[in-house]
Copies of this chain bind each other. A is one copy, B any other.
Amino acid sequence: MNASPVLINGQPGHTIEITDRGFQYGDGLFETILLHQNRLVFFDRHMNRLQQGCSRLGIPYPGTELLYNEAMVVAQSTTEGVVKILLTRGSGGRGYNVPIEPKPNRVISWHPLPANVAAVCNGITLQLCQTALSIQPLLAGIKHCNRLEQILASRELRDPSIGEGLMLDTEGFVVEGIRTNLFFRKSNTLYTPQLDRCGVEGIAKAWILEQAANAGVETCEKRIRLEALFQAEEIFVTNSIYGVMPVVQFHGGVATVGWPVGAMTLSFQEAWEACLLSGAE
């Protein structure tokens, strides 16, 4: 069942104790990192987010060097793919009560690249999900292992032509795609939802905002209503595996709206490709 290489706390393996709190309660964090030309793309940025998550949840961070070395061992027989690092609080504690001195479990695994990376970069259809994201500032931004909302939203996407689901929060504000962050341009400003109450602060999202700022594009992170999307001149979504995906169609209730692939979207795609080639992260 597990032909792909896996290291569990530094040792080859494919199982975890059922007492692990990640298994019992989703008491953990994870990162999925692009492996490209034998490099772990944006590794330090991923580790910064993981470390922030550890600090928020009170899980000891195992250290960037250890995780890097183990990730490279897992990836050693290949040059491309995805490396996932999953870190839990480990076993112990009574019920929800955490152990006083947690011994985290780290699981590092390699996975092949999704088959549709090239296709989605030509443009995807976004579907509005009925599953809303709950508002929880204490868990916003970090990539924790409580992902039932994303799972329920994924179950809504039954049409295989749909590339991504758009999630609003329970107050109706636009937050993100199920596994991506969302951007849109109107005039010369690049907008993206503020993620202080829910959502994941994507590695690619932060990179896009930096690129935009360097290019003199005005950026704006704020609460965004769905209606604002319909006035957008171009829309794209991002994540650290797929890079920049243009949104060319939107299905939401009765409305279907379309956009051409925008010039700004294309320039970010080119910059992303160049960044992957050069390794200048």
Contacts and interface: CB of A to CB of B under 8 A. Distances in A.
B151 A98 contact: yes
A187 interface: no
Given A26-B148, A27-B147, A132-B138, 4 more contacts: A16-B23, A27-B151, A134-B134, A146-B147
Interface residues of A, number: 57
B25 A148 contact: yes
A168 to B, nearest CB: 13
- Enumerate the 10 nearest inter-chain pairs by beta-carbon distance, A residue then B residue, closest first: A26-B26, A134-B134, A146-B146, A25-B147, A15-B15, A134-B136, A96-B154, A96-B150, A23-B23, A146-B148
A107 B25 contact: no
11 contacts: A6-B18, A14-B19, A23-B86, A24-B147, A25-B146, A97-B154, A98-B151, A98-B154, A134-B136, A146-B147, A146-B148
A152 B26 contact: no
Contact of A20 (B21, B23, B134): B23
Contacts of A17: 1-2, 14-15
A55 to B, nearest CB: 13
A109 B23 CA distance: 14
A24 B114 CA distance: 18
Contact of A139 (B22, B138, B148, B150): B148
Contacts of A1: 17, 19, 91
Tell me whether chain A's interface is mostly helix, strand or loop, or mixed. Answer: loop
Nearest to A109: B18
Interface of A: 1-2, 6, 8, 13-27, 30, 57-58, 86, 88, 91, 94-98, 107, 109, 114, 131-132, 134-136, 138-139, 144-155, 157, 170, 178-179, 198
B95 A179 contact: yes
Contacts of A24: 30, 86, 145, 147
A135 B170 contact: yes
B16 A18 contact: yes
A52 B256 CA distance: 34
